[in-house]
Amino acid sequence: MSGSDTTRTILLHGALLAGLAALDFVLPDYHHGVLARVMVLSVFAMGYNIAFGYTGLLSLGHAMFFAAGLYGAALPIYHLGWSVWPSLGAGLLAGLVLAVIVACLALRTLGVAFMIVTLMFSQVFYLTTLYFTTYTRGEEGLVLQQGMRTLALPGGHISLANADVRFWAAWTLFSLTLVITLFLVRSRFGRALVAIRENEERMRMLGYDVFASKLAAMAVSGTISAAAGAAYAVLFGYAGSGFASIQYSILPLLWVLLGGAATVLGPFVGTLIMFYLIDTASSYTTPHMLVVGVALILLILYFPKGIVGTIRAKWLRWLP
Amino acid sequence: MEQALAIQSINCFYDEVQVLHDLSLDLSRGEVHCLFGRNGAGKTTTLKAIMGLVRVRSGKIVKDGVEISKLPAHEIAKHAIAYVPQGRRLFGELTVAENLQIGLLARNKGEETRERVLNLFPLLRERLNQRSSTLSGGEQQMLAMARALCVEPDVLLLDEPTEGLMPSMIARIREAVTALHEQGVSTILVEQRVDAVLEIASRVSFVENGRVKATMGVEDLRAEPELVRKYVGVG
């Protein structure tokens, strides 16, 4: 990447983050809440994008990593009375450990087999959350009361139930993940992941340990997804089994495909559009998913590489 | 002459079908050893076996006194062996510069290696920021070779590098192979063109049905060109 491309990249992403920050002051309450939720879910999509977009690992089990973060944070708060910071740490750790274990086994397979194996692991995780209903409250879920969601900061305590605090917390997590992703995809590791996606055998012939690189990619991807899950639990005060279901493995795939796989901004764009598409369609008609389906078909017809992916392919070649 | 690589009676299979039968071959340091034979004779499988892409069931491959035939492919590459497969297999989404960078990073090589490689293929210097999938066939072949050379191999495996290229590109690829030979890189070259073999090879081995039928110096082949017809039925 040339110097001018780097400058343009920094300016574009800086402008996006500044624009999102500015929206805190102008958005009405409803959209303010939606944007906070979209930013957190975008982090999930960005995590998924590391595995799918950059490394070519089509996982159908990422819901388990999101849910590992969600329950990893919510269970200690709910049952053990932990505070927010250690609970967030527990959520991240749960996602990382689960991702490493699942990847060690699933990466022995390729292609369709990898999809099926990750899906099976995810279903086991989902059924486990239902089996231990005593602790997880199954589909009904755990509701974390306002008092449980107080964040200790050097200046004092703040409540994450407050809409503004929630927005800024979501923005901070989103910004951090965006910067990490930008750094990651331009790094030696990130370039190696793209090369593995392009031609795994060739990388092996050059002397790269492909298994180790894919394992690392899954660990990073799973941890970022878990970070989104943990943040979701403490910011929105809810953890239910539904987040471990297959729907939450399909959604990040759709968000990433719609926004543009292997693009840094694609996951955010895809999540935002999908969220509002469902939201708007459901306010007009009961079979709203039909409308969403048609809209998605049209988008894919005109933006075959996803929205940001097509923009990059046709006009802005420098987009990361 | 000192040995760069020794293949000793290897047997390889695709599932239960045996494709290499007690195949033996030695590569002397600095030589260009050409494998010649019909399609399906086992030439490409031999290269893949060296790289660990096809499992060697029995027999062994030794480089610098180390048996490499039991190692995984990425470990074999660390023994300074580079493979340029048929069909180039570039990282199409990456630029020329990034393709080279991937090669350089594999063995922690730096600017000096990059310059040396680009001096060998000056055409690539003008294409550094171009996506590699948009290069012409000849340029892609040069990039595939350049990327392999970024690991500074002392054994290079080339599988039909001039296949499907226009004559001007074939000449450039041959020049590069000759230059590498002069730099002391030992090369196993799979080639179907007799003129190329006669021009750049030091020795030739005829491969048939997964076995080496004969090995001879290129001078012997030049003196008796009918040997090509005898062993592979073309010429």
Answer yes or no: is pLDDT of A238 > 90. Answer: yes
Whether residue B106 and residue A198 make contact (CB cut-off 8 A), yes or no, is no
3-state secondary structure (DSSP) of residue B17: strand
Tens-digit pLDDT profile for residues A10-49 = 999 999 999 999 999 999 999 999 999 999 999 999 999 9
Q: Which two tokens stand for residue B200?
A: 């750049």
Total residues found in chain B within this entry: 235
Distance CA B218, CA B106 (A): 35
Instruction: Report yes or no: A210 at the B interface, CB cutoff 8 Å.
Output: yes
Mutation for testing the B interface, residue in A108, A200, A206, A318 having most B CBs under 10 Å: A206
pLDDT band at A270 (very low <50, low <70, confident <90, very high): very high
Yes or no: say if A118 and A102 are a contact pair by the CB < 8 Å rule. yes
| pLDDT above 70 coverage of chain A, percent | 99
A186: CB partners within 8 A, 6+ apart:
A1, A320
Tell me which residue in A191, A194, A201 faces B53 most closely, judged by beta carbons: A201
For A30, other C-beta atoms within 10 Å of its C-beta total 9
Instruction: Report yes or no: A79 at the B interface, CB cutoff 8 Å.
Output: no
Residue B13: per-residue pLDDT: 92
Residue A297: per-residue pLDDT: 85
Residue B232: per-residue pLDDT: 66
**What average pLDDT does range B109-126 have in this prediction?**
90
Q: Which two tokens stand for residue B205?
A: 């081995």
CA distance B215 to chain A (A): 27
Instruction: Report yes or no: B199 at the A interface, CB cutoff 8 Å.
Output: no
Tell me which residue in A206, A209, A262 faces B102 most closely, judged by beta carbons: A206
DSSP notation for A129-189: HHHTHHHH-TTT-EE--GGG-EEEETTEEEETTSHHHHHHHHHHHHHHHHHHHHHHHHSHH
Tens-digit pLDDT profile for residues B189-203 = 998 877 777 788 889
Tell me which residue in A199, A209, A262 faces B74 most closely, judged by beta carbons: A209
Mutation for testing the A interface, residue in B50, B74, B128 having most A CBs under 10 Å: B74
> CA-nearest residue of chain A to B48?
A205
Distance CA A271, CA A257 (A): 10
Distance CA B84, CA B149 (A): 9
Distance CA B108, CA B106 (A): 6
Instruction: Report yes or no: B210 at the A interface, CB cutoff 8 Å.
Output: no
**What average pLDDT does range A262-286 have in this prediction?**
91
Whether residue B89 and residue A195 make contact (CB cut-off 8 A), yes or no, is no
Yes or no: say if A202 and B144 are a contact pair by the CB < 8 Å rule. no
Whether residue A198 and residue B151 make contact (CB cut-off 8 A), yes or no, is no
Tell me which of A55-59, A180-184, A187-191, B167-171 is least confident: B167-171
**Beta strand extents in A163-291 (DSSP E only):** 238-239
* Every domain of chain B and the residues it spans: 88-151
Tens-digit pLDDT profile for residues A165-207 = 999 999 999 999 999 999 999 888 998 999 999 888 888 888 8
Tens-digit pLDDT profile for residues B72-93 = 988 998 999 999 988 767 888 8
pLDDT band at B44 (very low <50, low <70, confident <90, very high): very high
Instruction: Report yes or no: B94 at the A interface, CB cutoff 8 Å.
Output: yes
Residue B162: per-residue pLDDT: 82
Q: According to the per-residue pLDDT averaged within each range, which of A119-123, B109-113, B122-126, B138-142 is highest?
A: A119-123
Tell me which residue in B53, B85, B94 faces A195 most closely, judged by beta carbons: B94
**What average pLDDT does range B113-123 have in this prediction?**
91
Whether residue A206 and residue B129 make contact (CB cut-off 8 A), yes or no, is no
Residue B52: per-residue pLDDT: 92
Instruction: Report yes or no: B101 at the A interface, CB cutoff 8 Å.
Output: yes
pLDDT band at B234 (very low <50, low <70, confident <90, very high): low
CA distance A57 to chain B (A): 16
Answer yes or no: is pLDDT of A54 > 70. Answer: yes
Whether residue B77 and residue A188 make contact (CB cut-off 8 A), yes or no, is no
Closest residue by Cα to residue B82 from A199, A251, A150, A205: A205
Residue B8: per-residue pLDDT: 95
> CA-nearest residue of chain B to A1?
B129
Question: Which residues of chain A lie closer than 8 angstroms to B101, CB-CB?
Answer: 191
3-state secondary structure (DSSP) of residue B9: strand
**What average pLDDT does range B48-57 have in this prediction?**
93
For B182, other C-beta atoms within 10 Å of its C-beta total 9
Helix (H) and strand (E) counts in chain B = 10, 10
User: Half-sphere exposure of A128 toward its Cβ, with a 13 Å CA cutoff?
Assistant: 11
For A3-245, which CATH class? mainly alpha
Residue B210: per-residue pLDDT: 92
Which residues is A152 bridged to in the sheet?
Answer: A157
Instruction: Report yes or no: A192 at the B interface, CB cutoff 8 Å.
Output: yes
Residue B115: per-residue pLDDT: 92
Tens-digit pLDDT profile for residues B11-20 = 999 988 899 9
Instruction: Report yes or no: A206 at the B interface, CB cutoff 8 Å.
Output: yes
Whether residue B91 and residue A199 make contact (CB cut-off 8 A), yes or no, is yes
Read off φ and ψ for residue A9, nearest 5 degrees.
-60, -45
Mean of per-residue pLDDT scores for chain B: 88
Residue A105: per-residue pLDDT: 96
Which residues is B67 bridged to in the sheet?
Answer: B62
Whether residue B85 and residue A202 make contact (CB cut-off 8 A), yes or no, is yes
**What average pLDDT does range B112-134 have in this prediction?**
90
Tens-digit pLDDT profile for residues A140-154 = 999 998 888 888 888
A23: CB partners within 8 A, 6+ apart:
A32, A35
Tens-digit pLDDT profile for residues A1-13 = 567 788 899 999 9
Instruction: Report yes or no: B95 at the A interface, CB cutoff 8 Å.
Output: no
Tell me which residue in A198, A201, A207 faces B151 most closely, judged by beta carbons: A207
Answer yes or no: is pLDDT of B227 > 80. Answer: no
**What average pLDDT does range A281-295 have in this prediction?**
83
Instruction: Report yes or no: A201 at the B interface, CB cutoff 8 Å.
Output: yes
Residue A221: per-residue pLDDT: 98
